[in-house]
Structure 1
Amino acid sequence: MSNSDGEANSSEQCSGSNSSSPKLLADHSFLNSKEDQEFINAKAFLLTANAKTGLNIYDHLCDVITRILEERKADAIDMLEDISRETKKFRFEPQPDTILKEPEPSPEMRLAKLETKLFTKGVEEFDEHEDDVETALPNLMETAFYFEQAGVGLSKEEFIKVWMSLKMLVDSTPLQNVRFWGKILGIEKNYYIAEAEFREGAEEEEEEERPEPEEDNRDTHLTDDFDDEGLPPKDDPPKPDYKPPPVVPKEDKGTGTNKKTYFVINSPGMSWVALPSVTPAQIVAARLVKKYFTGRLDAPVNTYPPFPGNEANYLRAQIARISAATHISPMGFYQFDEEEEDEMEGEARDSYIENMDFEGIPTRDMADTVTQWVHHVQYILTQGRCKWWNPSQKSEEDVEDEEEDEDREEPDEPQPEDGPPLLTPLSEDVKIGDTPPWSSKISSNIVPQYAVAVIRSNLWPGAYAFAKQKKFENVYIGWGHKYSPKNYNPPPMPQPQDEFHEGPEVTEMEDPTPEQEASLKAAMQSKVEEDLEEAEEEEEEEDE
């Protein structure tokens, strides 16, 4: 029984469980659906993005757990906050503000970005024979070493930056040679100047401004016999005989004041800008004005007398003046070509060659006297050119006009102007009042065997040159102004023109009355009759 009873009880329990299974299943399905809903709601909450940053907790936790599993550090629990902070920092993206502008980078940051490319070398293979290839880039640091002994020049850091900038110019422009001309100071910015020569056939020609043709606004239905109102045309006023003086043409590139090409930048790392060619009118006007540079090439030059151009043209004119007056070299370093001597008989020399037999001059002799130095840049004449141009040259139009007006008096023939020839010693320069034009010295009297000879210009403060054996160089660092013993005074305004002198030929008279006209006509008629009678009497006497 016990067994049967036991079997009966187990069967009852099974049957009871089976009988209650629909209710339990119903309860279990209810619990599962509720948990699922809570899970969905929780996940939706975690996926809710922040209105400001756009981030949500779900993605952040996934990133944190992923990083923990990737690194698998033993103290991950201690670094949980740091990992979470770094993850948030990595995913942070600043949103631009519509009211406040983003702060501009500091001047130091902008300068650092500008100068970074100076010291960045391109990806290129190293060539073992790279040192043997001729390059237009000069050894500026060697020049800086000699100028440093003389107490002249820029700092080493600035020289290195300028050197790297010259390398960028040489790599981007087909130049035959280039040198650091100097630095001109400005009110807002400074100018670093490079003097260069292009390779043959590589120089780009400048576009000259062409005058626009005048438009003919006359109507086609009108003839020359009548004007707009249908009346005969009035007599044209008399044309004046005055002709303005001819415009002095500028010298061609590679000659005279335009022999070299000059590039400028405001700061090392910027792109070099080529200055335009200089004209004689700009050089003549630059001699009459004195103005500080601003550092902007497009800045206007508001002076009296007016300057024909902007600051780029004024800068180019000052460079030409400074170069012609202060670029010097040891005597004997350059010489004239003997082959061209016969071809240029009676003409001024405008070129020279390097003397290969030059052995150098002792440093003490170069420092004690200026007779061992010569000018190697052509002198600029009063006309604004290095080679004189005859303004009385007649073109075809002028010849035709002279044939029509043969009675016009011809002006006197101008006398040609000559300046000091090339390679003239500095001892022939004119004094500035009681001040000598040049001052020379030796860089060190303690160790003269390693010293250099230094010479500076008193006419253009800031112009220096050094010489040691076969090495020499010129540099200019200043404001670009010429020294004057007197204070600068701008030229006065011209006097107003006088009124025309009064006289009977220009004084307006009253019109005569009809009676006066009749009496005048009768008197003229009687005089004509008397003249005829006298003529007849003379003919009769001759016939007798």
Structure 2
Amino acid sequence: MSQLLLEPDIIAATENVLPDLNSDLVLAKNFLKQQSAATGDSLYDHLVDMVHKILSQKPPDMVDNFEQYSWEVKQEKFRPNFDLLNDVYLSPSQLTLVRRMEEMFRGKEDKPKELVPPKLPPEPVSTWQAPAPIPVERPGQGVNKKVYWVCNNPGEMWVCLPDLIPEQIRVARLIVRVMTGNLDAERNFLRAQIARIAAATSISPQGFYTYGSGEEEEDIDMEEGGGDMAFNPNPFFRGHTLKDLLDTNLTYWVHHGRHILKQGRTI
């Protein structure tokens, strides 16, 4: 009885060479593992996935639907897998428990957190105090030493301007404008400007006046309420030369009235 020989055995017997199955399998496996330039996949991995799918699902008529299974395996491999638990089977009781746990965790996440107000430092207490009001100079003293009468046009009724308070002097120094002639609205402003002009232009040659009661030149009353500074013509004044009076340094000219202080008073 003759023995049936396979083609590799015939070739090996002809060449007197025994076949090396391990080497052939390695070569075949390496060939199947060559990756596609388009997808990076290999025929070996594709066949492994197909065999795994066929053995796990055991579909009927596999020979007739082999190409369809091959296409489905490719689609599943390149489709994004958003559900990592699609192959896990859960019993109805387990599924109910999972849904309860999901609702419980969602409730904790949706519950708003109570806002805790930050602790603020104690509010500082202001120690500022309004300055004491500046006393008004009495009539006949300081800026109220003289009384002024005005009118808009010659022949009209004269109007007496009121006495000043220190605040009106301070405000008048901040205003730069042309007067309109409305005494009802500008009488205090006009009176303050007259006082400022009078204090700034009351000048005389040096030594023309003496100050005090007349007995001593240093007798000047500076106390509050004691009257304004008195000055009288000096009977011993001999005058200055015209050259001295025209000196641009104004050395021989002096103010013989008190200067208005920043507070709006002369004392």
Report the TM-score, using the length of structure 1 for normalisation: 0.23
Greater Rg by CA: 2
**Which is strand-richer, 1 or 2?**
1
